[in-house]
Structures are given as structure tokens and as C-alpha cells.
Structure 1
């Protein structure tokens, strides 16, 4: 891992580009998949596909056996990082545009700052970080209250709540990695968690899948499982090792831009006044809430773990 005070290596920038694209297109593929797959089917499909891709490598390296020794914490990580968020995202995108979904997920650093405060990190109360926290939440209010975002009334409002809950879960999950699974090979943790969540959702997927899947939805689900789950998680853990958990969030603020651009160009999703005003407020607020405006943040204390956003 690079020292926190050093510049970003070429490998770090490459990983940043990969994550910006791969997790930026996730919301597009989810939007397409839920056209003919039920939300539980999408969750089970993408996690089982991801697990099948990684399983041979995890077994061959012995990482799966190492992860099994910590299976309660791996399961806890899977529930908070995958089971809850993946279902919430899939259900929410039945009513919400993919671009708006990507934007609201970018509020993870705001929740991360609140969690850090609850854990005793008083640096969150610095003027710049506190101001960023307030500015980011103001941006969320602008986006949510903007015109044209509720084409399905209460269902759209529920979807926004589901995405914000997803952001909260994404802010919590990395603490499990930092404190309970730091010494477990990442591919073992990822594979075991994906496999457990995929099998857990399989009965619900079979019971709720009533429509005949379309080719377009099936291709989206395949790409979602292989590229946006298996490949993405490997790159995600590599990014954390390369730049550290403090700077990792700064590399994933680009995801909403990718999601909004793709949603507008490929799906014809509207760009509302609320998005145009609230989008920069959220991004600026997230930046200051997570970093205090520092390009090179101080090294974290031994007992502090900065959550990661995607």
C-alpha cells in the first residue's frame, strides 16, 4: 500500500479508471435486468455468477479455506455489503432512473462521516468537514425535492429511501473488513460472501421469477455478475491496498457521473433541475465531509478505519 502522503501511482490511477467505469455502469445493468427479472433473481444471479467466476481461483490459492475460518464475519460482511444493498438497488431501480440511483449512492461519505463521529472521531466536527456534511445533505434535499423525480408517486419516494439505506449499509460494511477480516485473503472473503448470499436468495428468486427473461435483461445480468461483481470486487480490494482506505472514497466520486451520462444517452433518462443543482452540492459536500478539503489526508490513527464508498 502506498503511504498516505505520497502521490498516486500509475497502478492507482488505472484502478481508479476501472472502478469509475465498472461501478458506474452497474446501475445501467441493474435497470435493464429488472425489466424481466425479479429483484431477488437479480441478486441471486449476479452473486452466484460472481462466485462461480472467482471460485476456482479462491480454491486453488487456499483463500476459500482461510475465509471459512472466519465465516460468521464473512457472512456479516456479505449481508451488509451485498444482500441488503443489492436487493434494495434492484427494487429501487424499478421506479428510479439509473442516473439518480448512482447519484444518491454517492452520499456514502456523508454517512461515513456520521459513523466516524459516533465512533469518537472528533475531526468530523472540523469546520470544513462539518460544512461539507451539511452541504451534502442539502444537495440530497434538492435532488429529492426537485420536479420530475416522482413519476410513480409514493413508489419513487420509497425507492429514494431504499437507495439512501443502501448508502448507509455501504458505509458500515468496510468496518468489518478493517477490524475482523483484515488478515483474510480478499478473494476468499469475496467468493465465500457471494456464494452464501447467492444461495440464500436462490429460493426467493425461483419463487418470484414469473416473467420470461428477455435477451437484453439476460445479457445485462451476465455482465452485472461477471464484470460489475466478480471483477469489480477484486479491483476494489486492490484499490484499497494501493491507495489506502482513507483515499479510496476520492476515487469513486466519478461513478455518479458515469451513471448519469449513460442513463441519459442510452436510456433517455431526464436531467432535471434538481439533479443539475443538487449533483454538484452532493459531490462537493462528500469531498469536504470525507477529507476536510485535503488532497493528501493525514495517515489514520491505528484504531480508526475510514469507510470506503462505491
Structure 2
């Protein structure tokens, strides 16, 4: 079933780019729901529901597709990936959303390729090309433009703290990418996604029990919609489709396509949440996008 799906995507570019556009729109829109969910429950409670439902959905897909469970030797590595990619990233991001606008948060988190490039040079022994150096420099300028602009304008200390938390989350995501390449890459993509999300959801639940036990939760049609949309669509199905996509296209194309996520995040946040974009934020976003794009440039191979 999966094989036929992969063949169809490889043969039809329209289907491929439709899938890429669909998941980046969903991920961009999810930032609005993540921000709005804080009106109904704590950030950690929401993350527990979201990734709990996402993990269950993926595990059902593992069973339905008859993929099988990973070996026990892989569980410790999946636990590390789940801790870095799901637990730490979204615990920090959801807490930071209490202070930082959704659009700006999406831009800062998707500086992740910058940190991945730095770490890959050290731990995966990838060469630092002039393009990568230039890209990293531009990306850093973008982050400094956003943070520096807020500091210069006397932004509330809570906002600055939240922005730093999101940058730490982006670094954690970058570390998880490198760790995945070193220890988990041999597993089936859906296996790795399902079990890292399961372990990450367990860690989030433990933190939630300690930090938000007894806090009020409002369940209604809106809050349940937020949980189901981000859990089933934005977490489980989109990550599955994403891993299918990177199985049939080169990693450069795949990475560049993720730049659409903060773009949609900014647009949706501006439309639904009436968030405004400062000049320093726009400049920072442009620098980060160009930085990541330039870093992906490769020299043509000599024949």
C-alpha cells in the first residue's frame, strides 16, 4: 500500500507539491490553534492531549499497515529522539506562547535548519562549504534582528524570555535531527515517528502532572477541535506524509519547503489573531529564509 503511494507521488509532481503545500498550510495554521488553546487549558495539558492522541493515531497506523514494532535495542534511541523532538520542543514552545505571538514563534522555531547545519558539521562530519557559512551568518543576523529589535524597543522581559525558550527548542530539534541520523535512521519512518512521539507524549504527561495538576480545563466544541486538529492532522498524519515526501525527493527540496510553514504561520496569525509584524521581525524573517536557502546550495558534481 505504502509502496504504491510512493510510486504515485514519484510519477506525479502535482500530487507531490499538493501534499507539500497541504502539510505546510496545516502546520502554519496549527500555530494559531496552539496559541488559542491557552484560553481553555494550560500549555502542558494541551500538549499532553495533542501528542497523546497523535501517538495513538500513529500506533494504529503501524498496526494497520503491518509495519511491526521496532526492536528493543532501538527503544532507548527513540526515547532520546522523543525527548528532544517532541517533549522538549513543544513543552518550551507551548510555554513560550504565553508571552510570544504565534507568528513570531513559528519564525524562531523554524531557525532549526541553522542549528542542524552547525551540529551536523561537528557530529556527522559534514563539510562547512562557503554557502553554509554564508547561510549560517545570514540566519544568525535574522535571529539577532528579531531579538535585538525587541530588546531595543524595550519589549517586555517575558517576551524576550519566551523568544529565548523557542530558540532553545529549535536547537533541541536540531540535536534530535543529528541523533536520528546517527542512531534511528535504519528504522521504518512510521515506526520512528510513532514511537518517538509516544515516548515524548509520556514525558510531557509526567511534566504536566507535576506542573499543572488541578488547573482548570475547559472542554467544549472549540477546545476539542483544537486538540483533534493538532493531534490527528498536524501531528500524526502530517508527520507521516512528511516522511513519505522525504523518501521520494531530495533533502534540499524537502528542507526548503519547510520555509513555507513560518510564512503561513505569520499570515494566519495576522488574519485570525490580529498580530502585527514589526519591521525588525520582517527583516529577521527575510534573513532567516535566505540564510537557510543559501546554506542548502550545493556545488554541481564534476562529471
Partner in structure 2 of residue 286 of structure 1: 292
Q: Distance in 2 between matches of 1:235 and 1:222?
A: 17
Instruction: Name the counterpart of 1:211.
Output: 216
Q: Deviating runs (4+, > 4 A) in structure 1? A: 147-152
SS at match of 1:65: coil
Match of 1:87 among 66, 75, 91: 91
Q: Shift of the alpha carbon at 1:238?
A: 0.9
Report if aligned partners of 1:18, 1:235 keep a CA contact under 8 Å in 2: no
**Structure with greater helix share of residues:** 2
Aligned equivalents of 2:207, 2:224: Cα separation in 1: 18
1:87–1:147 distance in 2 versus 1, CA, 3 Å: closer
Distance 2:82 2:124 in 1: 26
Whole-Å separation in 2 of the counterparts to 1:60 and 1:144: 46
Q: Which residue of 2 aligns with 1:30?
A: 34
Equivalent residue number for residue 186 of structure 1: 189
Three-state SS of the structure 2 residue aligned to 1:172 is helix
| 2:25 equivalent in structure 1 | 21
Instruction: Using the TM superposition, give the Cα deviation of residue 180 of structure 1 relative to its aligned residue in structure 2, in angstroms.
Output: 2.1
- Give the secondary structure class of the aligned counterpart of 1:189: helix
- TM-fit CA distance, 1:181: 2.2
Change (3 A) 1:288 1:47: same
Superposed, 1:208-287 pairs within 5 Å as 208-209=212-213, 210-213=215-218, 215=220, 216-287=222-293
Alignment of 1:1-310 (within 5 A): 9-66=13-70, 68-119=72-123, 121=125, 123-126=127-130, 128-147=131-150, 153-206=156-209, 208-209=212-213, 210-213=215-218, 215=220, 216-289=222-295, 291-292=296-297, 294=298
Change (3 A) 1:110 1:203: closer
**3-state DSSP class of the match of 2:98?**
coil
Shift of 1:121: 4.6
Residues in 2 aligned to 1:183 and 1:173: alpha-carbon distance in whole angstroms:
15
Question: Deviations along 1:39-67, whole A, 9 cap, x unmatched?
Answer: 22122111110122222221244434235
Q: Measured at CA, do residues 68 and 26 of structure 1 come closer, stay the same or move farther in structure 2, by a change above 3 Å?
A: farther
Matches of 1:169 and 1:228, distance apart in 2: 20
1:139: how far off? 1.4
TM-score normalised over the length of structure 1: 0.84
- Contact conserved, 1:21 with 1:258, CA < 8 A, in 2? yes
- List gaps (5 residues or longer) in structure 1: 299-310
> RMSD of the TM alignment (CA)?
2.8
> Given the two structures, how large is their TM-score scaled by the length of structure 2?
0.86
- Structure 2 portions without partners, runs of 5+: none
